Chains A and B, each alone.
Chain A
Amino acid sequence: NAGVMQNPRHLVRRRGQEARLRCSPMKGHSHVYWYRQLPEEGLKFMVYLQKENIIDESGMPKERFSAEFPKEGPSILRIQQVVRGDSAAYFCASSIRDSPYYGYTFGSGTRLTVV
């Protein structure tokens, strides 16, 4: 019974490159949430997706960031033309319904370092 799987665990990118972070939700979960955690700071909500739909992207930066959750395969958080300020831990969570009452399960995160 695998939990939420995120890969890669660590990702190093040079400024200007693209970063692609993957999240496979728990089996049976169709709701995915992405959070960003800057060093020594709390978790900041980025985006909430269901299969093939973006439900809430109010926390996403307006430029360079995008997310998808296709019908098949993992959810992808994509950061284009990365800058040093994008260095952070990115966490994905999944749930079975669209309410936290049913519990969010978090992955172990992807640590992005931009050099």
Chain B
Amino acid sequence: DAKTTQPPSMDCAEGRAANLPCNHSTISGNEYVYWYRQIHSQGPQYIIHGLKNNETNEMASLIITEDRKSSTLILPHATLRDTAVYYCIAGNDMRFGAGTRLTVKP
């Protein structure tokens, strides 16, 4: 599985887009990129996943670079309830890294 690198923390203003980057330069051709988040001490929550193409659902958009070495999770209109730790996972055996602690500020 590919190792991922995420910034440890980010801030975002409420109502603005939150763009969370993830580097996964060693990802192989058949490995997906997954995003989960953990709000406070709750169980992780699935957000989105993708292979090559950009993906969008009701929660977020996932932009994957053409070389697949990095991706960005976009929360288009962040709210205070989006404050959480966001985990990027590259690979199929679901090993979590340290994630990015996103704080949405009013």
Contacts and interface: CB of A to CB of B under 8 A. Distances in A.
Nearest to A4: B43
Chain B interface size range: 20 to 34
B92 A107 contact: no
Contact of B99 (A42, A56, A89): A42
Q: In the complex, which of the residues B38, B45, B94 has the most CB atoms of chain A within 10 Å of its own CB atom?
A: B94
Contacts of B34: 100
Interface in A26-78: 33, 35, 41-45, 56
Interface string B3-35: 000000000000000000000000000001010
B49 interface: yes
B32 A106 contact: no
A91 B44 contact: yes
A104 B45 CA distance: 9
Contact of B44 (A41, A43, A111): A43
A108 B92 contact: no
Chain A interface size range: 20 to 34
B46 A105 contact: yes
Given A89-B41, A101-B32, A43 B46 contact: no
A99 interface: yes
Nearest to A58: B93
A35 B22 CA distance: 22
B18 to A, nearest CB: 20
A41 B101 CA distance: 12
Interface in B50-106: 85, 87, 89, 92-99
A104 B99 contact: no
A109 interface: yes
Interface of A: 4, 33, 35, 41-45, 56, 89, 91, 93, 99-101, 103-109, 111
Which 9 residue pairs spanning A and B have beta carbons closest together? A106-B43, A43-B96, A106-B44, A42-B98, A100-B94, A108-B43, A42-B96, A91-B43, A107-B43
Interface of B: 32, 34, 36, 38, 41-46, 49, 85, 87, 89, 92-99
